[in-house]
Structure formats: structure tokens, C-alpha cells
Structure 1
Amino acid sequence: MSDSPLSFENFKLNKQLLDAVKEAGFTRPTPIQEKTIPLSLSGHDILGIAQTGTGKTAAYVLPLLMKIKYAQEMHTRALILAPTRELVMQIESAVEIFAKYTDIRFVSLYGGLGPKTQIEKIKQGVDIIIATPGRFLDLYSRGEIYVKSIKTLVMDEADKMMDMGFMPQIRSILEVIPSKRQNLLFSATFSDRVEIISQEFLEFPERIEIALQATPAETVNQTWYATPNLKTKINLLQHLMGNPEVNRVIVFTKSRKNAESVFNFLERNKLGEIRVIHANKGQNTRINAMEDFKAGNVRMLVATDVAARGLDISMVSHVINFDVPLIYEDYVHRIGRTGRAENEGVAITFVNPAEEYHMGRISEIIRMSIPESQIPETVDVPETPRAEQQGYDREIDIQKKKNDPNFKGAFQEKKHKNRTKPQPPKEKRGNKNSKAKRNRNQMKTKGQKNRK
């Protein structure tokens, strides 16, 4: 395409998809969307080299939904493979957003929980399956998935799948699904292993290579706090809101539940006018909340990423990330709400022990080191409850296992140590051995008497 499209309307997408795109706050396509969507709609195989933060998920989800159009029959027509449960859930979230005004059915399949609910959804009829390779093969081998209707296969984060050793499972999947299909492969890097699978997987592909676009505005002053637990986050938030310079702030949370909890806390403490927006709130409620915030009638807006994407508010003094986003490009979207129109802005992130890994990845993606600030002495930092600490430890174990498949986990190591029987003190060992020796001597003497 020689002329850069000004909006998603330049693509041949139907009204249902365009309405969903607009409501999600997407105004202009990113470079990978601009190049991928027309080629995908034309039926080409695609090799996309693009990192997180380039908008690649929408680049393949939108044309896929356009081709499927509506629910039909019982069996899946498209399969999206991803290496981890987290990525499967992220892709599912994107499909849910863009398929909002269609009747297209989709299901996500991943390990870590029983397959009963997943199987029930498949039996009700499904158009798109989003899955990790292991769980997909597991349910296929049980006879729960009919694959002969699959017309499109998408493989996301192929380099990570190769690193995690999924090559045998992927080859098994390629053997059972129809050979006549459209294929799309996306990877952050083009390693030797990715090149090998692309040669097996793709047929005369169009190669699209996009540099990372996730770069925060220079007018945003970024910092983060190491917060050991949830209560410390709450206390620190209350301390920051006591500063009159924090006059118009957006607080981002990772979930609707957290958004409501933060909203209720701030409202109880009467720190100023406050509104909350998330996917469970009605459209009119969200619009009214944003209009009040824009007009300066509301000091604080608590929001989730889906509800707040595309907010165009020019005078936001502070963005506070109460939770670190697990979709790393959302960090750039969040902090981009401040420092707009050449105004100075501040972005503050609260980071618990399990979120430090994600904060490090965000620093890599935006190619800058974010300075850490120390929690003020006036802020109460209570002890972390045992259950909360165990939750962090589990998350950290999962992160370490992803980076090192041989890592057994802190819990397993602790369990192994507990199984090791402690040796008794030397004195006791000596007494025990002496007693055993006396018993042997007595038996020997008794045997000699019997022989006589």
C-alpha cells in the first residue's frame, strides 16, 4: 500500500468490527496493522517479525474475524497457538473486544486448571480456538476437537515457543490439521529455529518486519516504588493523594475487582471527587465519568486498561499504576495519558515482589531504565501476610521456570529439604550403635550356648 491509511475504515472491515475498534479507543492503525491486515484479508501467508508493543495481536485478529464474519456450524475454523497461558488469555481478551458486536464464538485452552469447562464450551460450538500447544493436543487426543474445518492457523511468539521446546507438539498439530489453509507466524526475533519452523509452516509468505514503536513521551517523568504488599500500595496511594500537586490523576489497575477496591478506599477517605470506569460499567456511565474528569470536576479517575484505552485528556498531572500491566505495551498507553500537549507529567508505578520481573521487561521494551524512588518514612509498611507472600513466591517460581526449564521451584526445594531426615546428635548415634552392638553380642553368645 503506497498511501498510509488514516483510519481503520480504509480497510475492508465490516461495521461490527469498526464499531468495536472505535469503542476500544483505536484511532489509527500501527505500521504492522497497516501492512498485515490487507495481506491477511487477501489470503497470503504472513511472516511477521514484530516485538510486543507493535499492535500485532489486532493485526491478525481483525482480518481473522472479518473472514469468519459470523457463527457457523459446530466446528472451529481458526486456531491461534501461543506459548503461555498468560498470552492465550491476552489474545482471548483482544478477540472479545473486537468480536463484541458479532456472534462469533471462541474458547481459550490452556493448562493449570481442569479441562471440563473448556470441553463444554467446545461442545456448544466454537469458531476460534486460542490455545497452548500442549492443551490443544491433549483435548484433540481425547477426541474433543474436530480439526477438519480449520482454514486459518496463527502462531504467535514463535521464538518463545521454540525456546520452550514446543517444536514436537507444533509438528504434531501440523500433521493433523488440514494442509490447505492460511498461515500466519509472528515472532519477536528471526532465530535459526524460527526460520526452520517458518519453512515447514509457511508457503510463499509475505515477510513483514516492524521496529518497536513503544516509546514513552519525553515529557513524562517516570519512577517506581518497591511495595512489598497490597496494604503498602494502599498506604502509599493515600500518601501521594495528600499532595495538592496531584490535582488530576488516573489510577490504573489490572482488574475490575482491583478498580472497585481502590475506588471504595479513596471514596471512604474523602480525598476528592472520584469516578471509576471498567468493562462492567455501562457505556453512558463511562462517558459521563470521562466528561466530568475532562472538565476538571473530578480529581481522580480509577480505570482498567480496556476502559481507558484511547482517552484523550490533555491536563492529567499524574498517572499512577497501582498494578504493573502484564501486557507490556499497555504501560506506554497508560503513561501516555499524562505529559500530553507538551505539558510535563508524572508516571508512578507500584511494584510488588512478583511484579519486579514485569517491570524489568517493560524497561527493556521502552529501552530506558526507570529510576526507583524510596517509600517515604511517614508511610506505614506493614508485614506481608503469609498467604499473600506465598502467592508472590508462586508467581516468582513461574517466572523463573519460564527463563530456566530446569528450575525446580523454591517450593519444591523447600519440600525436598523437609523430606531429608535430620541426623541425630553424635552422642545419640553413639548410644544407639552401642546398644545394637550389645544386642548382637548377646545373640551370638546365646547361639553358642545352644550349639553346646
Structure 2
Amino acid sequence: MSDSLPSFEKFKLNKQLLEAVAESGYEKPTPIQDRAIPLALAGHDILGIAQTGTGKTAAYVLPILYKIKYAQGNHPRALILAPTRELVLQIEQEVIRFGKHTDLRYVSLFGGLGPKTQIETVQKGVDLIIATPGRFMDLYKRGEVYTRDIKTMVMDEADKMLDMGFMPQIRAILEIIPVKRQNLLFSATFNERIERLSQEFLEFPEKIEIAPQATTAETIQQVKYYVPNIKTKIDLLEHLFTKETLNRVIVFTKSKKNAEAVFHFLERRDIGEVKVIHANKGQNTRINSMDLFKAGDVRILVATDVAARGLDITEVSHVINFDVPLIYEDYVHRIGRTGRAEKDGAAITFINPAEVYHFERIESIIRMQVPEAPIPEEVPIAPTPYEEKQGYERELDLQKRRDDPDFKGAFHDKKERPKTNPAKPLEKKRGNKNSKAKRNRNQMKTKSKWKNK
């Protein structure tokens, strides 16, 4: 066995797992692994607060594989929940990596594909299920998943699950799995919602906080640019790709529309192979794009936040936030795609006038002031179209109004309207005149009627 494993050997994992760890190139446990693995092996519930890229997946995968040891029966004995199909696939890769010398059976359950193949795999017998909450419940309701043998349950990226509205499915799952089980909850951030979830989900948990709440890795060099409009953002993006050394880059946008626009712009430039992934892309297309990016065949990957938590690539040199994320904690997850495995990385954020408000709150969450860089002189500063400028001002008003209900906003008409509408007297006057004429006509009809009699 490799001599590089004395620190992993202290966990007293079985030979098959230690061999796999050695072959994976792990030389020593990361801080989250060093603290979480012994507690998980001892059967404790765990609340782990660790930023992305700290090795937390291995911190719970290794204890699970050790506990279930070998293939047994037909029903799952461990369940790992994750918010996105990308993260499910990433966890699956860790299970394959560390479990390759065992005969353990696993299945990944996620949407975007028909359930037929997944159901067939479950029916053959599995020891471990990795799933998104929605697809897991779908198969359970079909009667395809038997839950009574589940002894360990992991909830990874719990903060993202709550952001995506999975709480009803999570509660439903908690009702159908055994009460006596070991629970492990991992999150990059710790807020009131995570605290409430931990109280509902965990029993006397051991809390492990590797980094302060929502901090970013020290290996990531961050910088921000204040950019007046979308056209200047595009020009600055092109400048960075043509003038700077950006080897393997993920460009994050806030919407599918922006992702497609940035993708088509970059695709027309001679700056290397470009791919785009977002929710409207088919599952196979997304997997193929990520595989090409991981292999180094694609230089630039344009993505929405659907990919912010599911990419485990150690060679990403830069992350560019073309748009500031509206879910502030996603900033940590986005830039966590670079600077992984103690390698250096860089995170660049473009901030338009309406996004200044959001980024100031991000800086408050990560408890640091991101250095500002001036826009290079070679980048032309395009004038902001009137409609775009109005849109920024409306968005700022909306955000400020949420913070201060009494805020009237730039579009508020500060002049009070006259108490009396000048149009009303005219209408009233016309009404009086018409009413008088009507009365005269009625009187004439009455006289005529009596005259005829």
C-alpha cells in the first residue's frame, strides 16, 4: 500500500477503500474530512458548514461506503440527497472513485430523463441511492423504492435545496424513511433556515464549521469591475479573452437568455471552443458539454446557476460573473468552481449600476471588500441606451422599496395631485345640463298627454 496514506489509515477504513484513496491521489485529509469522517464512522449526526471545494463529498462518501461494506439484499441502505442533477452526477463520480474495489451497487436518480432505466436499476437491487428529492419521491410513489432499510441519510448543499423550494419533498422523505437513522447535513452557508432545518432533521448533531459562514477560499483572487451597461460588459469580456491569460473559464449569467447571448457572441470570436449549459439544454447535451470542458477540449463554458454546484473540475483558471447572482450565497458557489484542491484561481465580477446594490450585500455576507479594477483603456465605454438606464433605475427602486417601505423612489411623482380634478366640474356641468333638458322633455310629454285627454 502507498506510503502516502498514514493520515487516512488512522480512520481505520477497510483495505478496499484505502486502496481507492491512494489511487485517487489523496495524500492527506482536508480539514472537513479530518473532522467529519471519525464522527460519521462513530454514528453521530453531523451538521457540516464548509465552503465548496473543501472535499466534503469524500467526508461523507467514505464513511457510507465503509458502513454498508458490500452488496447485500435488494433494498437501499443509504440515501444521499442533492439539489441538482449535476451535483448528483458529481457525487456518483466520487462513489465510483472510492468504491471501485467493492461490489457495492448504487443508482443516481434525477429528472430530465425518463425514469425507465433508473427504475430497472433499482429493481435489480441497490445498496446506495443518490438522488434529487423530486425524482426520489416520484419513484417512491410508483412503488419502486423501498425505504425501510435506510440507515444513513445525507443532505448535501442543503442551502441550495431550500433556495430551490425542495422543503415539501424533504419533509415527505423524512416521513417515509426510518426514524432511527444517522443524518448528515452539509451546507456552504449557515443561516436561520438552515438552523431550523437542522433542528428538524438532526438529533444532537456534532457541528463542524471549517470556514466562517459564506467565506471564499483563500486560493481565489477576486476582482470586480463597475461596468455601465451590457454592451460594455460584452466588450470587456472579449478584451479579457483576447488580452489576458484565461485558460479554462466558466462564465456565469443570471438567465438562460443571457447565457445564450453570451455564448453566441463568444462563438463568433476566434478565442477557442465554447459550450453553454442551462435548464433548457437536454441532459445528454449538458453532460457532454461538461465532459468536454473537464477534458480540456472546451476553453469556455457559459452557464447559469444550474451548474454552480455541480462542477468538480480542478483546473478551472477563472470564473467570470457576467451577471451578479440574485441569490447572494450563490456567489460563493460560483467562484468556488476555481481555486479547488488548493490550486490558485481567479474570480472576476462585472457589476452594472443596478447590481451595485446586490454586490454590496454579497460583500457583507462574505465579510470582505472585493478589490476594484479599472476598465482597461482599450475597452470602449459604450453609452447606455435610455431604456436600459430606466430599467436599472426601476430595479434599484424595487430593491430599496423592499428594504424601506416608505421609500418613494426616483419615479415617484413628488408633487401632490390637486384635490379636485379639473375635469370633474365640466362633467358635472354637462350632467346638470343634460338632466335639465331631460326634465323639460318629460314635462312637455306630460302636458301633451293631459291635453289629449
TM-score > 0.5 by shorter chain = yes
1:176–1:365 Cα change, 3 Å: same
| Distance in 1, Cα, partners of 2:368 & 2:227 | 18
| Distance in 2, Cα, partners of 1:172 & 1:94 | 25
Which amino acid in the other structure matches residue 130 of structure 2? Answer: I
Residue in structure 1 matching 2:314, options 310, 331, 349: 310
Match of 2:412 in 1: none
* CA offset digits 1:355-393 (Å, max 9, x no partner): 778855763564311134454674254778999x99x99
SS in 2 for 1:105: strand
| Distance in 2, Cα, partners of 1:142 & 1:424 | 68
How many residues align? The count is 384
Match of 1:370 in 2: 370
Match of 1:175 in 2: 175
2:349 counterpart of 1:349: yes
CA RMSD of aligned residues (A): 6.3
| 1:150 Cα offset (Å) | 3.4
Identical-residue share of aligned pairs (%): 36
Structure 2: gaps spanning 5 or more residues: 123-128, 254-258, 276-285, 303-307, 406-420
Match of 1:267 in 2: 270
1:73–1:12 Cα change, 3 Å: closer
Contact 1:331–1:362 under 8 Å retained in 2: no
1:68–1:383 Cα change, 3 Å: farther
| Distance in 1, Cα, partners of 2:381 & 2:178 | 60
| 1:203 Cα offset (Å) | 4.6
* CA offset digits 1:91-147 (Å, max 9, x no partner): 3253244245677322236xxxxxx95765764455332226xx8768866867654
| 1:48 Cα offset (Å) | 1.8
Which amino acid in the other structure matches residue 129 of structure 1? Answer: A
Contact 2:80–2:156 under 8 Å retained in 1: yes
> Aligned ranges for residues 268-417 of structure 1 at < 5 Å?
274=272, 280=288, 301-302=299-300, 309-311=313-315, 319=318, 321=320, 323=322, 326=330, 328-332=332-336, 334=338, 348-351=348-351, 363-364=363-364, 366-373=366-373, 375=375, 378-379=379-380, 381=382
| Distance in 1, Cα, partners of 2:164 & 2:91 | 25
Match of 2:282 in 1: none
| 1:50 Cα offset (Å) | 1.0
How does the TM-score come out when normalised to structure 1?
0.56
> Aligned ranges for residues 51-130 of structure 1 at < 5 Å?
51-53=50-52, 54-61=54-61, 63-64=63-64, 77-80=77-80, 87-89=83-85, 91-99=87-95, 104-108=106-110, 123-126=119-122, 127-130=129-132
Contact 1:185–1:198 under 8 Å retained in 2: yes
Contact 1:224–1:372 under 8 Å retained in 2: yes
Which amino acid in the other structure matches residue 332 of structure 2? Answer: Y
> Aligned ranges for residues 129-148 of structure 1 at < 5 Å?
129-131=131-133, 146-148=146-148
| Distance in 1, Cα, partners of 2:153 & 2:72 | 18
Contact 2:222–2:371 under 8 Å retained in 1: no
> Aligned ranges for residues 210-229 of structure 1 at < 5 Å?
210-212=210-212, 214-217=216-219, 220=221, 222-226=223-227, 228-229=229-230
Which amino acid in the other structure matches residue 46 of structure 2? Answer: L
Which amino acid in the other structure matches residue 150 of structure 1? Answer: I
| 1:17 Cα offset (Å) | 10
Contact 1:276–1:289 under 8 Å retained in 2: no
Contact 1:119–1:144 under 8 Å retained in 2: no
| 1:47 Cα offset (Å) | 2.2
SS in 1 for 2:218: coil
Contact 2:76–2:146 under 8 Å retained in 1: yes
Which amino acid in the other structure matches residue 222 of structure 1? Answer: V
* CA offset digits 1:136-166 (Å, max 9, x no partner): 7688668676543433322456678889998
1:307–1:198 Cα change, 3 Å: closer
Structure 1: gaps spanning 5 or more residues: 110-115, 269-273, 291-300, 408-422
| Distance in 2, Cα, partners of 1:330 & 1:11 | 33
Which amino acid in the other structure matches residue 251 of structure 1? Answer: V
SS in 1 for 2:88: helix
Match of 1:294 in 2: none
How does the TM-score come out when normalised to structure 2?
0.56
1:51–1:286 Cα change, 3 Å: closer
1:353–1:181 Cα change, 3 Å: farther
Please say which of residues 151-160 and 440-449 is displaced more in the overlay.
440-449
